[in-house]
Amino acid sequence: MPQLRREKGQQGNHQVRKRAITSPAQELIERIAERKRETGAVILAHNYQPPGIQDIADHLGDSLDLSRLAQRIPERVIIFCGVLFMAETAAILSPGKTVILPEPSAGCPMADMITPEDLASLKQRHPAAEIVMYVNSTAEVKALTDICCTSANAAKVIESIPEDREIIFGPDRFLGGWVSARTGRDLILWNGYCPSHQKILPEQIQKLKRQYPDAKVMVHPEVPPAVAAEADAVLGTGGMLRFAGESESNTFIIGTETGMVYRLEKEYPGKTFIPASPHAICPNMKKISLEKILASLETLSPAVTVAAETAERARGAIRRMIEIG
């Protein structure tokens, strides 16, 4: 309910004029809703987005959910609250739609750790190898890729490749190492990593486990192996949501980007979620704001575009992944 306040300068008058006031955030939210109605746009947001954005998003999800959704939903204008590789993936899969990233500098440092030239020279050294790239990679790298994967389906993707084939995997060496251990397959690993997940230390989890002995520990496969060794479950962000819902436990230690804690709290208000490290923040995920969303809806920009030939080749690798599930 809007509050009522006295108009400035009218104090003391007998006939005080009153007007409804809303907080600046509420006004922004209302304006966003209005522009969404006018433009027919939809807001997709990754599970690491700031709370205010999670609260107004039409759909929240992990990278796999969001790519599939972008393709499936009828809306022609998508405001993508996440980082560039995610918006690019949505644009590649939905060529007729306008995909807008409200802050164009919201990149992923891990995705930039492997260039198309790096990958081409690795492929030259292993010409028979199948190239599997984490979706956290640029469109140009995906265009040289045989099949993409996310943290949710990396093991399935690796298992879909004949056992006698060599496999190049990148850019994340930790996701690669984890999936190699799970599937028993040797992978030719690229040396990339996520600077935000690298901030989670095994000692922090050990300390929290002593403090909360009944807690279950969930970590993302982007964490270093010594951190994964402390976990009850190694899962992508979608997997964490399912695990928390199915588990009998009421307390969880969360080894991933801190935005995930808010996402879990929203879904399971009766359970307790403790971040493994308050420093595991992805600064790029936090570059999107309500103000930038409104500006995007007003100008219908900045749209993410991928050169047609690059998109065509990258689409094959992403579609192969989606078919696997």
Interface residues toward ligand SF4, by CB under 6 A = 83, 108-110, 136, 194, 196-197, 222, 257, 282, 284-285
* Site for ligand 13P contains 63 (CB under 6 A): yes
Q: How far is the CB of 163 from ligand SF4 (least distance, A)?
A: 29
Number of residues that bind ligand 13P (CB under 6 A): 11
Contact mark string toward ligand 13P, 19..58, x via CB under 6 A = ----------------------------x-----------
Q: How many helices (H) and strands (E) does the chain have?
A: 14, 14
Closer to ligand SF4 by Cβ: residue 36 or 259: 259
* Site for ligand 13P contains 62 (CB under 6 A): yes
Q: How far is the CB of 291 from ligand 13P (least distance, A)?
A: 24
Q: Residue 105 pairs with which residues in a beta bridge? A: none
Using CB distances below 5 to 8 A depending on partner kind, what does residue 296 bind out of ligand 13P, ligand SF4, none?
Answer: none
Using CB distances below 5 to 8 A depending on partner kind, what does residue 109 bind out of ligand SF4, ligand 13P, none?
Answer: ligand SF4
* Site for ligand 13P contains 222 (CB under 6 A): yes
DSSP per-residue letters across 179-216? HHHHHT---EE--B--TTGGG--HHHHHHHHHH-TT-E
Using CB distances below 5 to 8 A depending on partner kind, what does residue 285 bind out of ligand SF4, ligand 13P, none?
Answer: ligand SF4
CA distance 50 to 266: 12
Which residues fall within 8 angstroms of residue 118, CB to CB, at 6 or more apart?
190
- Residue 132, classed as helix, strand or coil, is strand
C-beta of residue 43 within 8 angstroms of C-beta of residue 28: no
Phi, psi of 210 (to 5 degrees): -70, -40
- Would you give the end-to-end CA distance of the chain in angstroms? 44
Looking up tokens 């807001």, which residue turns up? Answer: 43
Q: How far is the CB of 155 from ligand SF4 (least distance, A)?
A: 18
Q: Residue 273 pairs with which residues in a beta bridge? A: 252
Residues engaged in binding ligand 13P (CB under 6 A): 47, 62-63, 136, 150-151, 194, 220, 222, 236-237
